[in-house]
Structure 1
């Protein structure tokens, strides 16, 4: 775990979620209902417990304060959380709430809810955890955990960033929260409760979302309110002109838990000192990627902790992150696309290729030659840009989900670890059998050629830069 991140305390109502996934290709003979067969059952943390696990997956220490009891669902949830997050319990009256979804493919058909347990009271340990927290995320699902710790949370909001993810069954955020993150539907209902009516002809539109956010900033005495808008992104308001943060790409998939992913990402970044606008932008990207990678169904077990394999990777072990991304997308039934190259002096041809590759599947992993690999392939004058910078630039592209650095002359080894469904190369390789093609085809993968923009090359850029006249006067940067 990367302990350079600020620890995060998650406070709220944990749930236990189950999915029954199968196929439905006929109706029952005795009633017009689908018959689901070939079902697979999976269980995972839900509610505040899901938010805590998602925050921990970002590489930060996370402690969850929640209500648990002696019932079977509570016991199962404790087991699922072991090794993933720290746990501070408050007593629960009744059984832990759980929900079971029945799905045919990606389409939910039915949901069954059980358990109406509520937090009974706070504890000294829980109050101390809130009082000493560097940053807090509250996931209030209306089952009492935030209520019994409300006074402590109000005190925390006075000295630490508090992100409050409200739900219709819960109470309002305490005054002074840094950011509240209702969905558009939740914001509409909560704003109506605060006396705000929708603008005629725009029910559910951006004008209504902006008015709701402005009303909730005042009613809740919050520094900012972000209304999440699903595929459209999020609307951030401080009470005046709002900022629309669009999604980086269209993501089709299971949106269950996307709000938790958004709130967890925003809370973690605010904990690390990010500005609110930057935190919201990154949270939109995180929620979009979460849906594209399969949503909550990909969060069924702790992710493997990999040992760093390439010291030239920037900002941590990007290769391990690439392996985890491929595993999550594959487990969710998605298509893993990989593309490779040196990407020395990233240019328009590279970007067009990567954008086209991303549209071919559900995630794009870019395999990048290390500095030694580039030097062996291109000569002593290359690379012009070190691997750390090349990785950082690639990761900044919206179409790139992860980057893996390899030190060999060809990427067979890293491809064998990632096992992509599609290996994408530029169209200039047409009529050429790539050395990695037999390997990709050995697991049923497909090598795919994509159009390449003519006249763009790193060599040409470097040659033109070398011939360019030196600037005269002033300082160069």
Structure 2
């Protein structure tokens, strides 16, 4: 596996702070809740959060943002140290900070402070943009993207650029691969573009599709992906849109979910994925982010350098879910010729927890178990197909005949098996129970097997060489 391509994030950093406590009474002098046992937490916000989320995937990330000498800027610098490479722009005023007051995880109040803006670009910032392989613009309307607009326009002509816009900022530069406004932001932007637009039929999807098509044309972007909160995203290239639904309705703190969506879209485009696949992966990642605890799922320490190993990524995902108090589910198999029985099992397994890791046999392991001629599909392709399923969060690989060693590293709460194993001894059951886990059987579709599919395919006339093929592989 090759090392993931580096990502450049350009935008406005913020300082986010949470004051969390419990509410049991109202104040005696006014009908307002009293928050007691308050705990204070700070984290990078805005573009700095997007950069940290991208870096948490084990990717090399550079952040260009405006910072000053004020205490909020100093806090953000300290939190970014060791996570991302920082290229600072000069800041006029003090860095913007946002403080949420929460009780039992629910926001009661937000306080905004600081109206600092990027003063100007720098030669180093322009040089870094000129050499970037992929760019995420996280615009929070504080001028960082505006000061570098010309350099970003040049970058959009040669590399994938994802632009996460803000109503206080400017529109994306022409040529952006994907713009990612929320449904409310898309509505506000579209009204600015078409002030004479007459109201049309109601319905969120209909309005979002209309707004997205308007913005594709007005902004001259290749596409616009309107995020719909827990429902997913609507991707438009200007014509009939593509609906990308969330794999589930995740419950949790949505703070930063839009940054997670934009960062994932950018990293997948950097790795050469198609726009549709990148948006699908981003919806999946944003849903998982909320389910894993939102901003609480970010590790306190910077992520280790990326190795490109899917097993390392799976172990990291399981650790984050466990740290956030979620349930890790694992399922295993060869998954050679993925079929409906596999998909049904994996979908049911994912619904039983907050993260599904699929443990897949290596090519050598499949060959030892199934004989020469197997696997029919090589490991890299099996991993890619599994990752494409909305219900799969990560894929891990084991080279042994059985997955016990890998299970010992993952330590899932649930080890999912098909119902066809009901009468079969499972030696891994004792191992899973040793850390408090449970083997769970899920219904399995009868009559589906890779071997059966392969045998039936071998008996078809075309497989036997009885049907002549034309230049395109079809009939003459």
CA contact (8 A) 2:8 2:129 kept: yes
Distance of aligned partners of 1:416 and 1:19 in 2 relative to their CA distance in 1, 3 Å threshold: farther
Q: Give the distance between the partners of 2:175 and 2:383, measured in 1 at CA.
A: 38
Alignment of 1:452 with 2:444, yes or no, is: yes
Distance apart, 1:18 and its partner CA: 2.8
Corresponding residue of 1:404: 396
Q: How does 1:390-429 map to 2 (within 5 A)?
A: 390-429=382-421
Q: Which moved more, 1:438-447 or 1:351-360?
A: 438-447
**1:452 to 1:120, Cα distance in 2 relative to 1, 3 A:** same
TM-score, L = length of structure 2: 0.86
Whether the 8 Å CA contact 2:254–2:290 is kept in 1: the answer is yes
**Aligned partners of 1:375 and 1:383 also within 8 Å:** yes
Q: Which residue of structure 2 aligns with residue 339 of structure 1?
A: 331
| Shift in CA distance, 74/427, structure 1 to aligned 2, threshold 3 Å | same
Distance 2:130 2:191 in 1: 33
The answer to whether 1:443 aligns with 2:435 is: yes
| Preserved CA contact (<8 Å) 1:142 1:171 | yes
Change in Cα spacing, 1:134 to 1:393, as seen in structure 2 (3 Å) is closer
Question: With structure 1 as the length reference, what TM-score do the two structures score?
Answer: 0.86
SS for the counterpart of 1:121 is coil
Structure 1 Cα separation of the partners of residues 361 and 219 of structure 2: 51
CA shift for structure 1 position 275: 4.2
- Displacement, 1:356? 0.5
Residue from 353, 361, 378 that aligns with 1:369 = 361
Partner of 2:185: 186
Q: Could you say which residue in structure 1 is the equivalent of 2:349?
A: 357
Runs (4+) off by over 6 Å:
none
Q: Against the structure 1 CA distance between its residues 38 and 319, is the aligned structure 2 distance closer, same or farther, given a 3 Å change threshold? A: farther
Q: Residue 472 of structure 1 corresponds to which residue in structure 2?
A: 466
Q: Distance in 2 between matches of 1:41 and 1:439?
A: 40
1:184-232 superposed Cα distances (whole Å, 9 cap, x missing partner): 1111112222234676464562222223223323433434332222233
1:370-389 alignment to 2 at 5 Å? 370-378=362-370, 382-389=374-381
Residue aligning to 2:96: 97
Secondary structure of 2:400 counterpart:
coil
Instruction: Tell me what 1:124 maps to.
Output: 123
Unmatched tracts of structure 2, length 5 or more = none
1:325 and 2:317 matched: yes
Q: Is the 8 A contact 1:181 1:226 kept in 2?
A: yes
Give the superposition deviation at 1:129: 2.6
Secondary structure of residue in 1 paired with 2:265: helix
Q: Distance in 2 between matches of 1:381 and 1:405?
A: 20
- CA offsets per residue over residues 167-193 of structure 1, 9 Å max, x none? 122222234433322111111112222
Q: Which range moved further: 113-122 or 348-357?
A: 113-122
Work out the CA distance in 2 between the residues paired with 1:427 and 1:41. Answer: 48
Q: Which residue of 1 aligns with 2:12?
A: 13
Write the distance in 2 (CA, Å) between the matches of 1:382 and 1:241.
Answer: 41
Contact 1:69 1:96 in 2 (8 A): yes
Mark the runs of 5 or more structure 1 residues left unpaired by the alignment. Answer: 309-315
Q: CA shift at 1:85, angstroms?
A: 1.9
Residue matched to 1:305? 304
> Contact 2:60–2:305 at 8 Å: present in 1 too?
no
String of CA shifts for 1:410-439, please: whole Å, max 9, x gaps: 323222211212111122333666322233
| 1:248 Cα deviation from its structure 2 partner | 3.7
Change (3 A) 1:474 1:466: closer
Aligned partner of 1:67 in structure 2 is 66
After TM superposition, give the deviation of residue 21 of structure 1 in Å.
4.7
- Deviation sequence 1:215-253 (CA, Å, 0-9, x none): 323433434332222233222334444333333443333
* Range moving further from structure 2, 50-59 or 360-369: 50-59
- State the secondary structure of the residue aligned to 2:402: coil
The number of residues matched between the two structures is 468
Is the Cα–Cα contact under 8 Å of residues 13 and 67 in structure 1 kept in the other structure?
yes
1:88 is displaced (CA, Å) by 0.8
How far apart are residue 336 of structure 1 and its match? Answer: 0.9
